[in-house]
Structure 1
Amino acid sequence: MKIFKFISLFFLFVSTLFADVKLYLPSHTLVKNEAFIFVLEAYGNDITFPNISLIDGQIVQEVASSNSTNIINGNITKQIKKTYSFYPTKDFILPSFETIIDGKSYKTNEEKISIQKALKTQSNFFDFSIKTNKNDLYIGENFILTMTFKYKKDIDILDLSFDKPNFENFWYKQIDNSKKYEDGDFTVFEIKFLMFALKEGDRKIEPLGINAKIMDNNSYSIFSSTRNKKIYSNELNFNIKSLPANINLIGEFDINASVDKQTVKKGEAVSFKLSIKGKGNIDDIHDIKIPIDEVTIYENKPIIKTQISNDEYLGGWEKVFSIIANKSFTIPSVKIDYFDKTLSKTISKQTNSFDIQILDEEIKKDVVLEKATKKIIPEEDTKEIIKVIEKTSTLDRVIFFFLGIVFSLLIISLYFYVITSKRKKQEDKPLVKKVKESKTKDELLKTLAVYLKIDTKLDLLIFQLEKTQDINSLKKEIIKTLKELKL
C-alpha cells in the first residue's frame, strides 16, 4: 500500500515539473480600432484559468479554445489554449493573469500595449479610399459616404474582408447598390453608406481597413503559399453645426391633413389623416398629438416609408386618428418647423383646421315618422300589413344571412390570397441570401463581421457562431434577426 502511495506522489511531483502557463502577444503595438488578440496557454493536469471579462474598461470575449494531451518522458499532461479578443481605445497595461495548475499558482507578466493611428496604405497594387459629397453639415443632415477599393487584375486575391466601420458620432446604413467594375488595369469594388451627423463640432471618420488574403507568387516553395495584407483608407474630417433652437428637422418638407367627413351623427367617428412628405431626416419627426377637449381620440402609430434616390433621402410620414364626440368640435391646424439649408433659415408650414358638426336631429325625426305612420293606418289594415311585413322580414333575414355567409367567405378568401401573394412576392435581401448560401463557419463569419456593433442581439449570435462548429442551429436565428433589422 505504501508503494502505491509513493508511486502516486512521485508522478504528481514529476507532473508539476511540466506545469507552466504562457502568454502570447502578436505585438506590443496595435492600430486604433482593431481587435487586440492574446493567447493564454497552460500545461498540467488540473488547470483553472482566470475569469477575464474586462480589461481597461472594455469587454473581453473568449473567441477560441483548444485542448490536447501530451506525453513527455512517459508523463501525461494536458495542454489548454484560450484565445481572447477586445477593442482597446487607448494605450493600456495588459494585467498579470493568475492560472492555478495542479494546486499551484502561476502568473504572467504585465505588458504595456501602445495604440497607433492608422495611415492610408500607399501601394502601386492596391488603393482604398473613402469620400463624401459633403463635409460641412448640420446635425441630422444626411450625406453619402462612398468606399472604393481597387487592386491590380494580375494579383491573385483569395479572400477579402472589410473591418467593421467605426462611424462614431454618425448614424449610418449601407445602401443596397454595391458595384464591381473594371477600370483600366484595376478591378474596383464600390460600397455606399447613408450617413447622418449626430453631434456638433469637428468630427472625423478614422481610416477604415480591409484584410486581403493574397497568393504569394514570390514564394520559392513548390507548394502554394498565401500571405495576409492589411490595407487602410484615408480619414475624413467634418465640420458639424448645430440647428437653430427647438428645431430637429433639416431638409424640405410638406404637411397635409384631411378628414373623411365634417358632418356626423353623435357617437360616429371622424377619420383624420396627417401626412408629411419631403427629403431630409424624416425619421426624426416627433410623434404628433391632437389637443381637443371633451372628445375620444384613437390613434395609430405613425407609418414611415423612406427611399434613396439620386443620393437624396426621401420619405413620407403618415398617421391616422379616429375622433368620436357628442358635440361639435374643431380639429386644430398642425404645424411643423424645419431648417432649410439652401435658404439658411427656419421654415414653418401648417395644415388647415377642420370644423366638425355633430348632428342628433335625424334620429329623432325617424322615430316621429314611425309613430305618425302607425297612427294613420286603419286598425283593420294594420293587422294585415303587419303580417306581410313579418313574412317579408323573415325572408329578408334568411337572404341577408346567406349573403353574409357568402360575403364572409369572399373576404376570407381574399385575405388568404393577398397574404399568399405577398409571401410569394417577398424576396430575401442580399445579406440574408448570402447567409443562407454560406456553407461553412468561416464563410458565415466573413459575411457577418462587417455588421458587428450594429445590434446587441446580432453581436451575441456572431460571438456564439465563433465558438460553435454546428452553424445550422444558429443560421435560422441569425436570418430571423437580420430580417427584423431589415439588413
Structure 2
Amino acid sequence: MKVRHYILLVLVLFTGTLFAADIRFTASVSKTEVGTGEPFEITFSVNANIERFGAPAFNGFQVVSGPNQSSSMTSINGNTSMSMSLSYDLVGVKEGEYTIGPATIVAGGKTYHSNAVKIKVVKGRAVQQNTQSPSAGGNAPAVSSAPSADLSKSLFIKAVASKTNVYQGEQITVSYKLYTSVNLVDNALDKLPDFNGFWSQEIKNNSQRVDWTIENYKGVSYHVATLKQIILFPERSGNLVLDPLSMTFLVRRAVASNDIFDQMFGGGSYQDEKYKASSAPVTIHVKPLPENGKPADFQGAVGTFAIQTAVDKSSLKANEALNYTVKVTGAGNLKLLNAPKMNFPEGMEKYDPKVTDNILESEKGVTGSREYKFLLIPRKEGNYTIAPMKFSYFNPATQRYMSLSSEPYTIKVAKGDPGTNVTAFSGANEQEANLLKKDIAGIKTGAPDLYKDEEAFYGSVGYWLLILIGPLAFIGARLFRKQQAENNKDQVKLKWKNANKIAAKHLAIAGKQLQAGDKKAFYEAVYKGLYGYLSDKLNISAADLNQQNIAEQLQLRQVDAVLISRLTDTLNLCEMARYAPVTGISEQEVFDKARSIINDIETHA
C-alpha cells in the first residue's frame, strides 16, 4: 500500500510541474561573442500577458536603445494566446567575459525568472561612454554656431508620417527626424511617444552608426538624422494623436574672444548650452472599415494578401497523420491575423495549427508570410474532401473587400492496420488523452496484497460501524449526485445565474490592483470580468465572443442602445489599455463604469 501512496505523490508533483511550465520566459542574444563597440541584441520573450517586467543590470555594457517592445495576440479555435518580447541593443565597453543575470516578470500574480546569458567581449574599436546620441553613432556634422534665441529654428525634431488619412488596421510608418544646423556635443532621451490607440512595431537598426543627410526644409539646409522609425496599425477609428518625442541636447556655441591673437588666428573659446526639443503632435485621421460589402468570413485582415494551400499526402491509411498547410503572404497587419476557420470533414480529427512567421519590418511596412500547419488524422476509411479555404481582406488602396479561395483536396483513406486506433506523435493534447482513457486497462499480474485481520476485531462495535459506513456513504453519494444533477440540468441557466458572481470576482481583483496602483493588471482584470460575464450571461461561446455578437444578443434582449454603446466603449478602452497607456479617463472612473454597466444589464436583461 505504501508503494501506491508514493506513486500517487510522484504523479501529483509531476502534474504540478507540467502546469507550472505553461508560462515560458526566456532570454536570448543575437551573438555570444562580440568586439568592443560592436552592437548586439538581447531579447526577453514570454508567451503570456505580463503585469510587471524587471530588467537585469547590464554591467559592462552600454545600452544603445531599449526596451523595444513587440507583442501579438493569437486566437486559435477560441483559445486566445498572448506573446510578448522586450529587447535591448547593447554595446560591449570593455574586454572580458560577462554574465547578464535573469530578468524578472510577474504574470498571473506569480514571479518568473528568465535564464542568464554569457557574453564574451573581445578587443574591437574604442567606445565613447555615456553617449547615446546621433553624434556618437556616426560622425556629427561640422556646422555653424547660432545664438540661443535662434535655437528653435536651428535644432528641432519632426515626426513624419507616411499617411495621415487611413483606415482602421491600415499600416503607416512614422519617422522621427532630427534637424540641426548647430554643433551637438551630447543628448539624452526624455520621453518616447505612447502611441495610444495603435499597435506598434519598431523598425530595428542593427548599425550603431547614424547616417547624416543634407535636406532642404523651408528654404534652409539642415543636417538630418533619423532617430526612430515605427510601424503603426490603428486599432480604432477617430482622430488619434501621436504624442511628441522629447530630447535634451547639449549645444556647443562659439564665444567671441577679446584676445587679439585669437581674433587674428581664428582661436577663441566656446560655451555649452542645454536645449530641450520635442516633436509636434501629429493627428492621424482613422476611418472605420466600411460595412457595405463586408464578407461574412472577414476577420480583420487589412492590406494586400495572397493565399496558398497544400497537403503532404493525398492517400493514406486510417489513423495515419497528414499536414494541411495554409500560407498567407503579402503586406499589411500580418502579425494580427487570426488562424483561418476551417471546416474539415467529419471523421477527420483536427489539431491546433503550428504557426510559422517569416516577416520583415522596413520603411515600407510589414511584409512577408504567416504559415498555419494543421495536423489531421482520418479515423475511418473512405474518400474525404477538404473544402476550399476562404480568406477575405480589405484593400485600402482600392477601398474594397477582396475574397480569395483555395482549391479543394480529395483524400483517399484506406483501412488502417490492426491495433492503430491511436496515433502517437509529439505535442499530444487533451484529445489524445481522452482516446487513451478509453483503452482497456492492463491485466494485473503477481500476488495480491493480502492482510490478516486481528481475531479480536471481528464482531466488535468498530467492525459493525465499518460495515455500515460503506452503504451509508453510498446512499449519501447517490443523493448528493442526484441533487447536483438536478441543479446542473440546465447548464445555460446555471451559467446565467452565476454570471454576476464571476464578474464580481474579477472586479474585486481589479479593485485590489487599483489600490495597488498596478494599471496594467487592473485593466486586465476588468477586461476578463466583462468578457467572462457577457459569455455566461448571453450564452456565447469563447470562439464566438466578439463585440458584434455581444451587441446582437443584447439587442435581442431589448437592452437600450445607449447602454450597448457604453459597454462597447469600455471594452475598447480595456483592450487598448492592456497594451498601451490611456489618457483622458481615470482608472476609478473605468472601474465604476464597468460595475454600473453590469448592474444595468442585470436589470434589463
Between structure 1 and structure 2, the one with the greater Rg is 1
More strand by share: 1
Which TM-score applies when normalising by structure 1? 0.45
| TM value normalised by structure 2 | 0.37
